[in-house]
Structure 1
Amino acid sequence: MDTASTLIGLSLLVIFLGPIFYLILIENRKNIVGRQALLRIADANALQPKEIEVNTSVYLGLDARKKKLIYINYTNKNEFKVIDLNIVSNVNLETKDFPEKPGKINFISLKFTGKSKSEGNSELVFYDEYGENGDDAEVQYNLARKWQKFIENCLKN
């Protein structure tokens, strides 16, 4: 009776914990692939990012020495931006509440203002209610604030 109870207990443990370990393994693999994609783009542009963020919605890397920011959108890994912070004068955190969904942040982005009208203006989207982002708005808001501070420090130097 003891052997059967032990086997049943171990089987139930594997049945319930197996999927959790599988999801953790899948998420870690996604992070490794995202980090490798970011580093490939950095190598192609002769950059060495010291600050790297691999998230469920964005991959970011900042080379403070050359003042360049690498941005990869999680949903379309082939679409990336390398933003030259030397031509950027300001970065602002922008949030929007859509009228059809009041009381909730529905869109979060960082907007870059160039030193001249023709260059440096761009936008990095961290959260879009209508997009395929996995995290909630609060997590992405805190991530955008963190990166806004990194970029502002880079702009000051």
Structure 2
Amino acid sequence: MDTASTLMGLGLLILFIAPVGYLVYNQSHKEKKRAKKMAFLASKKGYNLDETENTHGLSIGLDKTAGKFLLLRSAEKADLQEIDLKDLMKIEIIKIDEDEKNTQALDEIREISLLLKSKSNEDKRLIFYAEEEDPVTEKNNRLDRAIKWQKALQKYCKS
């Protein structure tokens, strides 16, 4: 009886752990694939990425010498977006609460994004945290990442 209960317990444990393990592996594999694709597309266009990061289904990279900020949303599509850092006027961190208003209180934040305002009025918005999709425990970490990228890109802004 003891052996049967143990085997049944192990079977149930594997039954519940296996899908979670698969999801973690699959997500990690997608991020690695997207990072490789970004590095390949950037080098194909002659860019040398000084800083890169995978965040929230998005790969971002910075080529300091060429003055380009690169974005890749998915590894399947080879759609590498280039933002010329010389065209940026202002970079803001937007912290939105549930009423779609800016807030500074960390507990009230529902979305954290980086707004890249360009001279040609083609603003880009990079979402670092969205409450519906990300765990609450990631909020502080994502805010730190957004601040890091704001500081890195702010050096190139021509206000």
Question: Residues 6-59 of structure 1: CA distance to partner in whole angstroms, max 9, x if unpaired?
Answer: 322321221121122111111111111221221232123211213211123321
- Partner Cα separation in structure 2 for residue 67 and residue 57 of structure 1: 23
Query: Are 1:146 and 2:148 counterparts?
Result: yes
Structure 2: 5+ residue runs without aligned partners? none
**SS in structure 1 of the partner of residue 41 of structure 2:** helix
1:35 aligns with 2:35: yes
8 Å CA contact 2:129, 2:142 repeated in 1: no
Q: Give the equivalent residue in structure 1 for 2:62.
A: 62
State TM-score, norm by structure 2: 0.69
Q: How many residues align?
A: 150
More deviation, 86-95/102-111:
102-111
**TM-score normalized with structure 1 length:** 0.70
- Gapped runs of 5+ residues in structure 1? none
Q: Distance in 2 between matches of 1:110 and 1:149?
A: 11
Aligned-partner Cα distance in 1 for 2:36–2:64: 19
Q: Structure 1 pair 52/128, CA: closer, same or farther in 2 (3 Å)?
A: closer
Residue 112 of structure 1 is matched in structure 2 by: 116
CA separation of 1:79/1:128 partners in 2, compared to 1, >3 Å: closer, same or farther? farther
Superposition CA RMSD, Å: 3.6
| CA distance in structure 1 between the aligned counterparts of 2:3 and 2:114, rounded to whole angstroms | 59
Question: What SS does structure 2 have at the residue aligned with 1:143?
Answer: helix
